[in-house]
Chain A
Amino acid sequence: MLDRTPSEPLLSVDSLTVSFRTEHGLITAVDKVSFAIRPGELVSLVGESGSGKSLTSLAVMGLITDPNAILTGSIRYKGRELVGLSRHKLQAVRGNEIAMIFQDPMSAMTPVYTIGWQIAEQLRAHRKLTKKQARTRAIELLAEMGMPSPEVQVDRYPHQLSGGMRQRAMIAMALSCDPSLLIADEPTTALDVTVQAQILRLIEQLQRNHGSAVILVTHDMGVVAEVADRVMVMYAGRIVEEGPKEPVFMHPGHPYTEGLLRSIPPMHGVRPHRLIAIPGAPPSPANRPPGCRFSPRCAYRYEPCGIDPPLFRKEQQDIACYRAEALLEPVGVQRP
């Protein structure tokens, strides 16, 4: 287990908002999201489609390039503000200090270059290495990722590898410059379950060995339970619950977290006759309900839910729900 003594956060995101100008007016996809990542911890950002989890991670990397996107708030990495940083300075951070891996390594790698070439390219962008040194390092990295005969694989093209091997190459590339923070956006979603298990184990090992902090973006509560230290649950553009994995899974504070956990068919024990599903569907960013965004689907809904709930602190969990209010003190600022 990791040391939980409070330390200077590696990354602190404050009131991050991402909106898009569209024909139908301004649509806010990520809405005043705040969180902090400490060095070396593995935090999972979990949510369903349209929750804004992927956009949040792209925003941290400065990868939202849509000219119609508006990004406000603050993203501080090692105390340095990344929002509004010049392109040139941002390039020195990306891939070097913060690295990212994506869901589908097939489309995320340039098809016309070998994986060794692509890893060497990143190394040489941030380190003073000769081509030969970069290649040697690429082979070492591939070996570390558990790739068999890396000196052969280094010269293969992405399409010549299996899905699992491609994702290993992608991770090798991301870790090539020893980043302090790795953002993994659904890294195992496109993989088969037996290969997913291999990749999850690899990410765990690497986090331990390299000491990088990891933000694991996923929709799969099983994956979260398997590897995360801490969980942030997103729903409709907001973080609705945040806390260490154990309490969040054992005593989920937000009705959405609870519903999400309950709707998964069990792998062991009694098989329920019916699953406990959450009624309705997650709202699209364009039609989010007022007040608590989850209230139309919530079984515990009552009057105050028409107004946005602030985050309440319950021991180690932060919960955006009035149900917690009776017992708890609000933390943070009331949302307008």
Chain B
Amino acid sequence: MTSAPLIEAKNLSMHFKLGGRFSPGGPQVLRAVDDVSLTVQRGETLGLVGESGCGKSTLGRCLMRLYRPTGGTVLFEGRDITATGNRALRPLRPRMQMVFQDPASSLNPRRRVGDLVAEPLKVHPGPDGKAHSRAEIRARLVELMDLVGLQADHLDRYPHEFSGGQRQRIGIARALALNPALVVADESVSALDVSVQAQIVNLFMDLQDRLGITYVFIAHDLSVIRQMSRRTAVMYLGAVVETGSTDTIFAQPAHPYTGALISAVPVPDVSGARRERIILRGDVPSPLKPPPGCRFHTRCPKAQDRCRVEPPLLRPMTGGQLAACHYPLV
């Protein structure tokens, strides 16, 4: 078994141009993802966490090649797919799938669950290069429903007959239909009630145990990220500010932003002393005009003159993680 990463991003950037040449103020560039490098090993889960507008979803879409990155490279199973055309990507599509946030809007309400889940099987040929037969499809559908904890007779119903949690199970079944190696889950549990969210988090983890799927798990909820992923990357304004083992990052965050983010999460725990909280000033700046120097310096409690000028690079910290900070917490 080679130790080549399943998917790798090198200096990946995704810049969107806003406004035309003739719009007042000229064209603007939204740096949704700016020079991000990361690797995801086979069978592991990488958590991508950050606040709204940090670029985590855009990064996920770049990895899936739903967007064509404006800079850097994406390697999937060692192969450069940065500029691969749609036709050439087709045979790779079954290997990489996505699960979205809102199960209600990503499932066509007029089609039966069976048709929805079978769709990828009808579009893509089997591993032998031949189209799937009806019997094969039916058998696979029953298998998939069992895998995600639904019943075979659910296949004949319509999405609206299901609860939010069940609809998300359907979305997962569809993503799994072609035995993908990589699943990018974009806020897949955020819209669910807490009691149901736990079921779906468990389902994701069980599926990984059984099928060895690799996840890129995108979420704004830190507790879900901590539960799901062995490695975590924290994003702020389009860049990764800290990455490393989840346990290290949550126990001993090095970047002041990570520290503030973790301390800001309200915890359902009334025992013991209240934790010391870092409350950040202000709001996230616009990604159209990221601050110079360190992007976080406008809100950072530890910012110094150097931070306003010199952008910090990711470098190893004592805990073993990488963080982009001149004056880390540990």
Contacts and interface: CB of A to CB of B under 8 A. Distances in A.
Contacts of A249: 268-271
Nearest to A188: B266
B267 A225 contact: yes
A21 interface: no
B196 interface: yes
A226 interface: yes
Given A163-B283, A266-B223, A275 B198 contact: yes
Interface stretch (B30-38, B125-133, B162-170, B178-186): B162-170
Interface string A230-272: 0000000000000001100110000000011101111110011
Interface stretch (A6-14, A79-87, A192-200, A322-330): A192-200
Contacts of A206: none
Contacts of B267: 222, 225-226, 267-268
A333 interface: no
Given A193-B51, A225-B269, A263 B283 contact: no
Interface residues of B, number: 44
Nearest to A248: B270
Nearest to A245: B270
B227 interface: yes
A221 interface: yes
B144 interface: no
Interface stretch (A34-42, A112-120, A277-285, A307-315): A277-285
A164 B283 CA distance: 7
Nearest to A281: B163
> Which label, helix, strand, loop or mixed, suits the secondary structure of the B interface?
helix
A162 interface: yes
Counting chain A CB atoms within 10 Å of each CB, which of B52, B226, B266, B270 scores highest? Answer: B266
A131 interface: no
A221 B195 contact: no
A48 interface: yes
A265 B201 contact: yes
Given A198-B279, A198-B280, A192 B51 contact: yes
A276 B283 CA distance: 35
Interface residues of A, number: 49
Contacts of A219: 193-194
A249 B269 CA distance: 7
Nearest to A282: B193
A208 interface: no
B195 A278 contact: yes
A273 B204 CA distance: 12
A260 B270 contact: no
A221 B195 CA distance: 11
A264 B199 CA distance: 11
Given A194-B51, A222-B265, A225-B266, A48 B193 contact: yes
B250 A267 contact: yes
Nearest to B149: A279
A48 B195 contact: yes
A284 to B, nearest CB: 8
Contacts of A266: 223, 226-227
B50 to A, nearest CB: 9
Contacts of A226: 266-267
Interface string B194-233: 1111110110011000000000000010111011000000
Interface string A27-51: 0000000000000000000001100
Contacts of A245: 270
Interface string B222-253: 11101100000000000000000001001000
A125 to B, nearest CB: 30
A226 B224 CA distance: 19
Contact of B224 (A162, A201, A261, A265): A265
A223 interface: yes
A4 interface: no
B202 A277 contact: yes
A89 interface: no
A165 interface: yes
Contacts of B194: 48, 219-221, 260, 263-264
B10 interface: no
A192 B220 contact: yes
Given A197-B280, A265-B227, 8 more contacts: A192-B52, A192-B284, A194-B51, A265-B223, A265-B224, A267-B265, A274-B205, A275-B198
Interface of A: 48-49, 148, 162-165, 192-198, 200-201, 219-226, 245-246, 249-250, 259-261, 263-268, 271-279, 281-282, 297
19 contacts: A48-B194, A163-B283, A192-B51, A194-B299, A196-B264, A196-B266, A197-B280, A198-B280, A200-B266, A201-B279, A221-B268, A225-B268, A263-B198, A264-B268, A267-B267, A275-B201, A277-B195, A277-B202, A281-B165
Give 4 nearest A-B pairs by CB, closest first: A222-B266, A277-B198, A265-B227, A263-B198
